[in-house]
Every structure is written in structure tokens, then in C-alpha cells.
Structure 1
């Protein structure tokens, strides 16, 4: 017997589609229908992007005046000098330079909408991708037994009930660790199919091939009827809309990539007023052990996709930008010294990007000492000087009006760093 709690809450709802890039016609039309009344009250939306594989923060945002870094990276070091070989870094403040493939970020940084935190990471020193991601997504870096993810807890702290199934949506093929927990969440590989998979529930998983309507009919005697009636009705309303191809606002052009397609669909959900408050997407390929490149190569392609995808989303938001904040995260950084195969190995601190009109942007936040050997963590890595929880909690507090840090991050009692406007 599937219990209502077991179906709705224990693992969240994982909803998946057949392709990565498809956008259903009814969703496209819903987003295009600007004059159509919203199904739910518009609320603030936090969009989190996990860069899986560990981004080299020292190449994304380079302390280009540091001669120790230049010496440690004879073929990977990049300069802001105009006469340097290849494309120069984009000088942000005379000390830090933005990778040239992230040029889309330059204007929003200058406008004070994009903030960067350098030296951010976990207090747990593991260099295991799996463990570090688990600790960051659970929000408890010294407790592997935490059953919930920090974003799921954030949903529970929003302070209001909701009838919408779209309150917390991950555009991923499976439910991310951040969304595990007692509060209902959705995982969608795309919006073109609404079949259900119930995480950790074999009986529910057997119903994965059935539609939402069929499943609802089967549970009409009380399993989901009271709790989810409005959710299924919302989906039925969406499906009745006329079909059109979605056209992003303001000539926004999303990259044809997994991240670009995910953010495009998140934009559509926001415009549809379906009650989206927490959104999650992923960007892969950041484990650059080999042939990392400088202004061209694997890393350059990755940061270009990241910045272009985010900027397309931001442009598409238009007048809704006040309601949205975007935050990136990655499990750890890379070694200061390059390795023998033209790459960098697992390190400690990295950097992250926070975009929004309530962000104290135009500044590289955090503390970074000169990268002399005596200042490096374990003699090899950029030291973690900002606990990721001090940033994640501040962004959630200020943007979503969550002010219960002890619940959001139960093992942490640190301070915010001032990356959000007061």
C-alpha cells in the first residue's frame, strides 16, 4: 500500500521525459500567453546550478597579479594584459580577471548585479566528488547520515502552503540530493512528458508508465485526492492551452546545451505563474585533469556555456528579474599547480557566481591570500576561507525570506558575508 506521505514526500516526485531539449507545445504556449492569468500567486524564485566535477575557480576568476600562480601554471596561467598571447582576461577590479569566454558576465558585474565569492568551499577536506557533492547538497559537511537536502529544507521554511506541484522543480533526469526530504519536489528531464517515477517506492515506480490523470483516477478514494487535486487540475489547465512555439523575450538566445535547455524551461515555468520558488539545474564536465586549455579548450567551452546559458535566462526574464536570483555551486576547486598532463587535480576552494537585482554585485567577495606555498591548504590548494553555508544561507534568507539558518543548515552557526543587499 502506497501511503500519501510515502508517495508525495519521502523521496519527492521524479518526473522524466524522453529527450533533453524538447519543450511541449502547451508549455510553450503557456509561457507565451503573457495576458493569461497566473494559476498561482507569483513569488520569488531561487535558481541553483550545480557545476559537477569541480570547477577551477582560479581559471574562471584569476588573481592575475599573483606571481605565485604564474609560476605554478607555466602553460595554464592567463593574463589581463592586452599584449598577452591569446585572449586576455577581463579585468574586473585590477586584481581579478574574468575568463574571456565568460564575457557575457562582464556587463552585469559592472552594473552591480553579479557578485562573485572566491575562496568558497566546504570545511570537509574530502577530495571525493561523490562525498563532496553529497555534503554540499545535504548542507551538513560532517554528517553523511542527513536524509534531507538543504533545498528541500528551504522549501519547508518558505512559510506557506502551496497547491502547486511546481513549487520546487529540478530540470534533471533524477532527483538531486539537494531535493531529498519530506517536502514535495519534482525532477524533470524535460517538460514534454509528465510520467511519474517515485523514488525509493517500488509500487509507485511500477506506475511510472501511467499518466498523471490515470494515476489520479486510481487514487480517487483518498490516497492523493485531497493533497494533490489542485496539482492535477493545474496540469490539466496547462494542457488545454493552445499550442505555439516558445519565443524567449528580448531576443534571448539559449545555447543548445543541457544547461541552456534546462534554464529555458525554468524560464517558461516562471513566466507561467505556476508557483515555482526553487529551481535546480546542472552543468557537467568540470573535472579537468587533462588538457584543460586556456582561452580555448574544454574549460573555455564549459565557462562559455555556463555564462551564455545564465545570461540568456537573465535576458529572457526581462521585467521579472526582480523576482529571480541565480546561484552557482561546485563541490570543490582545483590544485594551484598544474599537473603533467596540462590539467589540474582535485583541490579545495573554488568560486561561485550570484546574479540578481538584490545581490551586492560588482565585487569579488571573500578572502584570498597570495598563493605562496606557505598560504596554501595542505601545501597545494587555494584555502577555503568562506564556508559555502555562509553564502547559501544568506542568499536563501534574503531572496526567499528564510531566516532560520539553524534549520536550513543545522550544524552551522557562522556568519553571512554580505553578498546580498540589506
Structure 2
């Protein structure tokens, strides 16, 4: 007989929006059988955003004084010199310039709440999107067989009782980062839910079976562990008017997938339901063709990223001390532009960390001049900061996890100082 662990693989349920039909009645009835816990005490929260497709860090945060980069990108290079169009790079420190479409980030950088790490990446030199994302989310860049994700391990190392909403991904499917034995939820829409049966052997023919039929085939003990947390989560959301949420401080979220995800994460934080690890994602970063400069696909993507994050930050208001936001991307792009005005798969990129306990106002990392002899394989920005150095420091310091070796079991390095002591 199929075990309930097959039904709730990896300790987590993926929940996704089903339009406006509401919560299935059998789930609502099950939820009603539990007492609602909370409100939970205000814990620290980490929000991770995965930029899938590999962001060109050299265009997001450009070393504009580097003549080698200018030569390698005759039509893609941008300058910090003032232009008539007003679309020049934003000079951060005399060496690095922020893309003009990320101007929403400038005040946070000047206030020393936003830090940037350049030259960050994986020690594994794969240029496969799938493999690089898998390695980064598992946190073991040379072990493809790791069953858990690093954020799931982080959740398990927090050292106190968990709410059903401890670990939530605002995605339609459970991200690799959340795989593991600790409970997690994947939710694409807080308004309406259903159980996602993907991967459940009982549901080989889900179209012919109702959720009640599938549920009846499990044992009643399903409710005792992961099922209980999931039903409690549903019950909590049923008691909240998430549909008519109004952001604080007149924060305006972009009408994008990322903007919508971060707005819903803000709702969960303000509901005090015990959220501690949140995940969202942004797509479209694979810029092989017509990447653009001040306009184009890249400009639109970085505008969405920066405006979504800054709206989220403004919306949090009094909750800002609790939250740190960190971005990640699987790798960067080639230093030299290609023949179709784009950039190909590279190695290192940059990431952004926002929070009141961040050592901000600094572009961290070690980037040498981009001459061919300094490039990895003669073509790419070299990885000078292992992503685990940053991820372990941010999670360890902000979430107060002392055993960061449990986060990244193969990591023996040291922090780089992106968090305040």
C-alpha cells in the first residue's frame, strides 16, 4: 500500500491557485478540526529571489572604468557619463555603476541598507541552466544526489517550534531549495488553493479522480503530521481578507509575477503567521539575443526586479528589522557580446542583499580588470566569491543559525562581511 509519505513527499505540500472556486470542502472541513495557532512571535525572516536564466551581472552593476569591458561590448557597454537621454549608469562608488532601470535601488544603497556582491557564483563550472540551478538550490555544487535543498535545511536548523507557514514558496511548484524533510508550502495564490498531486503515485489519472477520492485512499494518520500543518495553513488564510489587501506607505508593486509574489509574502509577514523562510522567482534572464542597453528585455527585467523589491520593502514598514532579502542567479554572462547583440552563458554574476542588518552601501567581492588573462576560460568573469560564502553568512547571521555547516555540508570557507557583526 502506498505510504502517506508518497502522498506528501519531502515533508511539503505544493498548493496552487484554482481560480475563484475556493478551498476544496474536504480540506476546509479537515482544517476546522484543528485549533488555530498564533499569533506567532515575530521571528527573523529571509526572503530569497531566484533570477532564473542567468543574469548578466556586468550589465546590472557595471565596472564602467574598465576599458577591456568597453572593448568587449561595443554596442552593449554603458557609461556613467551624463547623457542627454538621462539614461547613464548610476555611479555607486567611482568604479561600479548601477543600471539606470534599477534607479529604485539607489536610495537603499545610499542608506547602506543594500549590499551588492560581484564575482559571485558556483565553483562548479557547468553552463547548464538546469544543473547550475540544481547545484545552487541544493547547496552542494559537486553532489547532484543531495536530496534536500539548502533553504529546507535552514528551516530545520532554526531551533524552535514551527508554524505551518515557516517555509513558503510563492510558486506553483515546490522549488528545489525547499526539498527535504522539513515542512514547506508552495503557494502561487493566497486567495484560492488546491493540493497539487504531481508526483503522487496514487494520482496517475488525476483527471478521473476527485480530491476526495485521492484523500480517501490515504490513511487517517495523514492528518497527524504534514497534513495537519497544511490544513492549519489553509484555515489561517480563510480567516484573512487577502483579496482586498492594501500595501502600506502607498507602495506600488509592478503587475508582474515577481511583484505579485512579493506582495503576497508581505501579506504573510504582516499576518504574523510564523513565516521565516520565503522564496520567489523571476524569469527571463537568458539574454542571448537583443539584450538591449537602457531599453530592451534586460532593462525591463531589472526594472521589475528593483521596483518589486523596493515596493516590498516600503510595504513592510515597521517589519523591516525582521526581514533580509537576497537575490541569486545560477551564473552570469560572457564578458564579450555575441553576434546577435546578446551575451551567452558565463560564470560569475552579482547579487543583491537588502536589510537593516546588512553591511550595505558597498560593492563587495574581488573583481580584477577584465583583460583576457584574468577571465575564466579566457571568456568569463571569474568566480571569486563562492555563493555559499554569502548564503551561509546571510542566513547564519540574520536567522541566528550557529551551525552553518549544516546548511552547506561541503563548505569550509569564511564569510566575506556582507552582514554587520
Is the TM-score greater than 0.5? yes
Change (3 A) 1:405 1:242: closer
Change (3 A) 1:193 1:241: closer
Per the alignment, residue 44 of structure 1 pairs with 44
Structure 2 residues not aligned, in runs of 5+: 24-36
In 1: Cα distance, 2:306 partner to 2:195 partner:
32
Per the alignment, residue 392 of structure 1 pairs with 391
**Superimposed CA distance per residue, residues 45-73 of structure 1 (whole angstroms, 9 cap, x where no aligned partner):** 11000000000000000000001101111
Change (3 A) 1:98 1:410: same
Structure 1 residues not aligned, in runs of 5+: 26-36
Query: SS in structure 1 opposite 2:71?
Result: helix
Per the alignment, residue 357 of structure 2 pairs with 358
In 1: Cα distance, 2:217 partner to 2:239 partner:
22
Change (3 A) 1:53 1:231: closer
Q: CA deviation at 1:5?
A: 4.3
In 2: Cα distance, 1:232 partner to 1:12 partner:
12
Per the alignment, residue 115 of structure 2 pairs with 115
Query: SS in structure 2 opposite 1:260?
Result: helix
The answer (yes or no) to whether the contact 1:13–1:187 under 8 Å persists in 2 is yes
The answer (yes or no) to whether the contact 1:169–1:276 under 8 Å persists in 2 is yes
Query: SS in structure 2 opposite 1:118?
Result: strand
In 1: Cα distance, 2:248 partner to 2:362 partner:
28
Per the alignment, residue 186 of structure 1 pairs with 185
Change (3 A) 1:169 1:69: same
Change (3 A) 1:264 1:362: same
Per the alignment, residue 133 of structure 1 pairs with 133
The answer (yes or no) to whether the contact 1:38–1:274 under 8 Å persists in 2 is yes
The answer (yes or no) to whether the contact 1:196–1:205 under 8 Å persists in 2 is no
Per the alignment, residue 412 of structure 1 pairs with 411
Q: CA deviation at 1:196?
A: 1.0
**Superimposed CA distance per residue, residues 294-328 of structure 1 (whole angstroms, 9 cap, x where no aligned partner):** 00000000000000000010000000000011000
Per the alignment, residue 53 of structure 2 pairs with 53
Q: CA deviation at 1:83?
A: 3.3
Per the alignment, residue 16 of structure 2 pairs with 16
In 1: Cα distance, 2:345 partner to 2:243 partner:
46
Per the alignment, residue 71 of structure 1 pairs with 71
In 1: Cα distance, 2:232 partner to 2:180 partner:
25
Change (3 A) 1:314 1:230: same
Per the alignment, residue 302 of structure 2 pairs with 303
Q: CA deviation at 1:240?
A: 3.8
1:267-306 to structure 2, matched below 5 A, reads 267-306=266-305
Q: CA deviation at 1:239?
A: 1.8
1:251-266 to structure 2, matched below 5 A, reads 251-266=250-265
Per the alignment, residue 28 of structure 2 pairs with none
Q: CA deviation at 1:347?
A: 0.5
Residue range with higher mean Cα deviation, 238-247 or 191-200: 238-247
1:335 correspondence with 2:334: yes
Change (3 A) 1:300 1:216: same
The answer (yes or no) to whether the contact 1:197–1:205 under 8 Å persists in 2 is no
Q: CA deviation at 1:190?
A: 1.3
**Superimposed CA distance per residue, residues 108-144 of structure 1 (whole angstroms, 9 cap, x where no aligned partner):** 0000000000000000111111111111111111111
Change (3 A) 1:206 1:395: farther
Change (3 A) 1:214 1:421: farther
The answer (yes or no) to whether the contact 2:114–2:355 under 8 Å persists in 1 is yes
Query: SS in structure 2 opposite 1:358?
Result: coil
1:166-185 to structure 2, matched below 5 A, reads 166-185=165-184
Residue range with higher mean Cα deviation, 227-236 or 188-197: 227-236
In 1: Cα distance, 2:226 partner to 2:380 partner:
49
**Superimposed CA distance per residue, residues 178-223 of structure 1 (whole angstroms, 9 cap, x where no aligned partner):** 1111111111121122211245322268789867x99889878423
1:175-214 to structure 2, matched below 5 A, reads 175-203=174-202
Query: SS in structure 1 opposite 2:132?
Result: helix
**Superimposed CA distance per residue, residues 4-44 of structure 1 (whole angstroms, 9 cap, x where no aligned partner):** 5444452621111136xx9989xxxxxxxxxxx95322211
User: Structure 2 length normalisation: TM-score?
Assistant: 0.90
Change (3 A) 1:24 1:144: same
Query: SS in structure 2 opposite 1:335?
Result: coil
1:223 correspondence with 2:236: no
Query: SS in structure 1 opposite 2:222?
Result: coil
Per the alignment, residue 30 of structure 1 pairs with none
Change (3 A) 1:302 1:244: closer
The answer (yes or no) to whether the contact 1:11–1:198 under 8 Å persists in 2 is no
Per the alignment, residue 91 of structure 1 pairs with 91
Per the alignment, residue 160 of structure 1 pairs with 160
In 1: Cα distance, 2:281 partner to 2:60 partner:
17
Query: SS in structure 2 opposite 1:406?
Result: helix
Query: SS in structure 2 opposite 1:195?
Result: coil
